[in-house]
Amino acid sequence: MVVAAFFFGLMGVFVKLGSASLSSSALVFWRTLIGVLLLGIPALLKGQRFATPCLRRHIQRGLLAYTSLLLYFYAIAHLPLATAVTLNYTSPMFLALLSVVFLREKLSPRALFALALGFVGVVLLLRPTLASDAWLVGLMGLCSGLLAGWSYLHVRELARLGEPEWRIVFYFALIATLGGAVLVSFEGWQPMDGYTMLMVAGLGITATIAQLAMTRAYKVGNKLVAANLSYLTVVFSTLLGVLLWDESLPGASLSAIILIVISGMLASRR
């Protein structure tokens, strides 16, 4: 999971660099297209079954996750890397809330405390953006966390119905790629020079390595430990933002990031 967190942080770097040449929708398209090929071709060669009795749920999950990824990439392009990543990592908070709304789950006092802590962190983190022209981007980053948490509800339900892990990820990548192709067609396809192709390749490679490492961590390790270690992505993103763009976050923003990370860890233990 430490490896996964590091490469997810690097993925954010390639998104930020690539956003100078490509739109967020184009970056999402190329990132998910690589996922379709890396998952689909081996599955085809192994004779895996692509047909599923849960197509409607896959479509719902895919649309939620695609929109979340689109908003996330847009936030990375226009906010400090650490801020954008942290806003996306509010997903465990929203997952806990949505579990109450849709699944009628009851929250423990610890989970309620985690949500309160996370809410304070979000307010502190968004305060600088709400006081500037970047308020809309900040809210978009927060919405990426909400939609990611919502999509995890569908992942949980698909797993409960017996859907294999590769098919859950494949259908998300496929739906996101098709949605991205439609959106980019409306925008107009942008030509790519050597530098842009390198950024796209870096995005696809780092995302794939991160996904594989994360899958391995959850498969063979303690799931709670893996979930907590995933927040190292926030740490790595903060360090990379400082090293590459000299992004200096004020003390209030750093405190907010710490509160949100603690909140996510507590929420995952509910």
According to the model, what pLDDT value does residue 129 have? 61
According to the model, what pLDDT value does residue 122 have? 86
Between the ranges 25-29, 165-169, 203-207, 251-255, where is the mean pLDDT highest? Answer: 25-29
Residues 5, 217 contacting (CB under 8 angstroms): no
Reported confidence tier of residue 34, pLDDT bands at 50, 70, 90: confident
Identify the residue with better confidence: 207 or 134.
Answer: 207
**∠ CA 147-160-220 to the nearest 5 degrees?**
90
Give the C-alpha separation, 138 to 79, whole Å. 8
Identify the residue with better confidence: 193 or 106.
Answer: 193
Q: Given a cut of 90, is residue 70 above it in pLDDT?
A: yes
Give the C-alpha separation, 86 to 141, whole Å. 9
Q: Given a cut of 90, is residue 263 above it in pLDDT?
A: no
- Of 3-17, 32-46, 90-104, 175-189, the least confident: 90-104
Averaged pLDDT score across all residues of the chain: 87
According to the model, what pLDDT value does residue 224 have? 65
As a whole-number percent, the residues of the chain with pLDDT over 70 amount to: 96
Q: What one-character DSSP code corresponds to residue 190?
A: P
Residues 265, 40 contacting (CB under 8 angstroms): no
Reported confidence tier of residue 195, pLDDT bands at 50, 70, 90: very high
Q: What one-character DSSP code corresponds to residue 131?
A: T
According to the model, what pLDDT value does residue 128 have? 64
- Of 50-54, 124-128, 187-191, 222-226, the least confident: 222-226
Between the ranges 31-45, 84-98, 201-215, where is the mean pLDDT highest? Answer: 31-45
Q: Which of 160, 161, 204 is nearest to 39 (CA)?
A: 204
According to the model, what pLDDT value does residue 33 have? 93
According to the model, what pLDDT value does residue 55 have? 93
Give the C-alpha separation, 209 to 117, whole Å. 32
Q: How far is CA 170 from the centre of its chain?
A: 16
Residues 62, 206 contacting (CB under 8 angstroms): no
According to the model, what pLDDT value does residue 130 have? 59
Position 259, amino acid? L
pLDDT in tens, 204-239: 889 888 877 887 777 677 766 777 778 889 889 988
Beta-strand ranges (E) seen in 47-138 are none
Q: Given a cut of 90, is residue 144 above it in pLDDT?
A: yes
According to the model, what pLDDT value does residue 91 have? 84
Q: What does the buried/exposed string (b/e) look like for 151-175 if buried means 16 or more CB atoms within 10 Å of the residue's CB?
A: bbbbbebbeeeebeeebbbbbbbbb
* pTM for the whole structure: 0.88
Consecutive H or E run containing 192:
none
Position 245, amino acid? W
Identify the residue with better confidence: 107 or 56.
Answer: 56
Classified as helix, coil or strand, 257 is: helix
Q: Given a cut of 60, is residue 270 above it in pLDDT?
A: no
Residues 6+ apart with CB under 8 A from 219: none
Neighbouring CB atoms inside 10 A of 123's CB total 12
Classified as helix, coil or strand, 72 is: helix
